[in-house]
Amino acid sequence: MPGRHAAGPSSELTRLSAAELAEALRAGRVTSVEVTQAHLDRIAAVDGAVHAFLHVSAQDALATARDVDARRAAGEELHPLAGVPVAVKDVVVTKGMPTTAGSRILEGWVPPYDATLVERLRAARMPILGKTNMDEFAMGSSTEHSAYGTTHNPWDLERIPGGSGGGSAAAVAAFEAPLAIGTDTGGSIRQPGAVTGTVGVKPTYGGVSRYGLVALASSLDQAGPVTRTVLDSALLHEVIGGHDPRDSTSLTDALPDLVGAARRGATGDLTGVRVGIVDELNGEGYSDGVRARFDESVALLREAGAEVVHVSCPHFGYALAAYYLILPSEASSNLAKFDGMRFGLRVEPEDGPVTAERVMAATRGAGFGDEVKRRIILGTYALSAGYYDAYYGSAQKVRTLIQQDFAAAFEQADVLVSPTAPTTAFRLGEKLDDPLAMYLNDIATIPANLAGVPGMSVPNGLSDDGLPVGFQILAPARADDRLYRVGAALEALLESGWGHPLLAEAPELPTTVTVPTTEESIR
């Protein structure tokens, strides 16, 4: 929100939104070096406790910042976000910067190229602070499946930050980065957003290039923004989105006006907008605190002029089961390239002949974690000749039914809404040994991925346990602007009630300067 903070001493710089930082930079009140250094200092102070980062690229970020400052001083016309730093999930390849996807099997791999979205961040001259922690190959809802240690939720360090993109969400919630990139295959941007009190957006499938993402499930994966305000997500989405000829599933249409939609929404007027409550995503299994915040938010949307209706999506009950056949099937194929020959780790068998097959087996045995092995086995089984129709084929039919449910629901409503996650952040370790309990976290987020429609999670208050809750907004494919209009309206209405952004209530973090701020990896 403009005017919320004045750009003052460096510690305060980390409290500003990206839009506020952009304005302070444009007006010459602050330099990009100061902004970038303030975030590197914050990382050094708190990341020992949070562990949001796997790699901090201080030299690279400061070099970009110096370049931006020099260009600005010379009067060059720059991108509005030039000089505003960003953190990138470690599943996105970055030239010259380690990329592990949270896995041992990619330890030590330094990509020779940038993902398209990284090229776009660099073209906008945004300093890249580093790479953020994640569940191995983006499989999980807690970041506990990272091979490099878990990330801690800044609201309560004993709790999960969500997953798989817990590192990006925690970095933004802990004021270590004003902006971050996440990826969402079944909820990995939105669910971490919900449990850390941050905004997260999964764009329409094909809206942001997948070129240079380490693929999990290619028909579901989408990269998107992780921020503290809805306007900041719109600004970042406009940097990374749009057609890319290197991704064959990239949409060719121009992005809708996302920033304009966010600004329009911030007026708090939703007259004429039809909001549909998805009855299947709001009952049993959702905690009382989550449901209470949801009901209050819906009442606010109604007061803002929205017409609220109930819609039924009868096949959503099968979404989780279909997802956990389609995802492992695609993952088992995508992960076949990690064979000990081409990337990262190579392990030779301890005894016996060193054949290609035995090196592959030894490398995968040592390099993949339990959850990854579980899904490869499941996916290979589901795709095998005798079972293909029964499992993968049936799951694809369910996917069509879910797409039809969405189509029918969007006849009755412009956006659909639900809680983002069934509960607030659970304790570290609580669900680690129970894969099914872990999978249930994504019950409300998965349908959007199966149908390719865009979704946003907006923080909508604290539950009775004092932890953040998220409100999910879904729109038809290509209508991402609707998310921004409704999300910004809800944010403005909530903040005018609270008198501050939700993260202003987050507890102080222990500060211990233990983290390197040079080009070092933190593991």
- Minimum distance from CB of 140 to ligand GLN (Å)? 5
Q: Is the peptide bond before 164 cis (omega within 30 degrees of 0)?
A: yes
> Rule CB under 6 A: which residues touch ligand GLN?
138-141, 163-164, 184-188, 216, 327, 442
Looking at the Cβ atoms of 43 and 93, the one nearer to ligand GLN is 93
Known catalytic residue at 89: yes
Looking at the Cβ atoms of 260 and 435, the one nearer to ligand GLN is 435
- Minimum distance from CB of 134 to ligand GLN (Å)? 8
Among residues 103, 188, 329, 521, the one annotated as catalytic is 188
Cα distance between residue 45 and residue 228, in whole Å: 20
Cα distance between residue 340 and residue 371, in whole Å: 19
Cα distance between residue 184 and residue 207, in whole Å: 13
Looking at the Cβ atoms of 354 and 436, the one nearer to ligand GLN is 436
Residue nearest to ligand GLN (CB): 188
- Minimum distance from CB of 334 to ligand GLN (Å)? 12
Cα distance between residue 91 and residue 131, in whole Å: 9
Looking at the Cβ atoms of 47 and 184, the one nearer to ligand GLN is 184
What distances in angstroms separate CA 51 from CA 47, 94, 136, 208, 430, one per listed residue?
5, 20, 15, 27, 19
Known catalytic residue at 394: no
Please give the full DSSP string across 101-144, using - where no structure is assigned: TT-GGGTT---SS--HHHHHHHHTT--EEEEE--SGGG--SSST
Helix, strand or coil for residue 331? helix
Cα distance between residue 287 and residue 469, in whole Å: 10
- Minimum distance from CB of 253 to ligand GLN (Å)? 24
Give every CB contact of residue 132 below 8 A, 6+ residues apart in sequence. Answer: 52, 53, 54, 87, 88, 89, 90, 151, 165, 167, 168, 170, 171, 180
Cα dihedral across residues 405, 410, 412, 414: positive or negative: positive
Known catalytic residue at 457: no
- Minimum distance from CB of 324 to ligand GLN (Å)? 8
Looking at the Cβ atoms of 186 and 455, the one nearer to ligand GLN is 186
Q: Alpha helices, DSSP H only, in 229-355?
A: 230-240, 258-265, 288-303, 319-334
Residue with tokens 């999964």: 202
Looking at the Cβ atoms of 162 and 367, the one nearer to ligand GLN is 162
Structural element, H or E, at residue 224: strand 222-227
Among residues 17, 32, 57, 89, the one annotated as catalytic is 89
Q: Which letter does DSSP use for residue 336 in this model?
A: G
Looking at the Cβ atoms of 60 and 184, the one nearer to ligand GLN is 184
Q: Which residues have a catalytic role annotated?
A: 89, 164, 188
